[in-house]
Structure 1
Amino acid sequence: MLVERPYDLRHACLSMWLLVTGDLPLVAQWAGNSVAVLQEVYAQVLDGQDAQARKKITAAFDAR
């Protein structure tokens, strides 16, 4: 069995979107949730994104 509940697929999808985009408001809009709900339910997905965000900022400055 692929998943135990249909919600498991949604959870996996939202987790991936958050990991890839790091954009809480956008993913919340796509999911039809509030940012607060995403922060509460998917907090573990967002942990460790600080380093990734800093790399993106550094790359943006280096590109200029």
Structure 2
Amino acid sequence: MDIRQRLIVGSLWIGVAALMAIALEPGVPSTVSEIPKLLVVLFALFLAGVYLLDPWNVISRQRFH
């Protein structure tokens, strides 16, 4: 995956995290239904970081030539 594709996918994950963050109320999650939403936001930000930073060279590694 080249850098352009990684930037597009990473920005899409940031968009998903932003949309889910809008659904959260500000402050500490007070209800049980807000905890999964917070976990989705954190997971989307994690995936965005993996695609944008590629820390372990997982995304750009070519398995088949």
Same fold (TM over 0.5): no
Structure-1-length-normalised TM-score: 0.30
Greater Rg by CA: 2
Structure-2-length-normalised TM-score: 0.29
Determine which structure has the larger helix proportion and give its number: 1
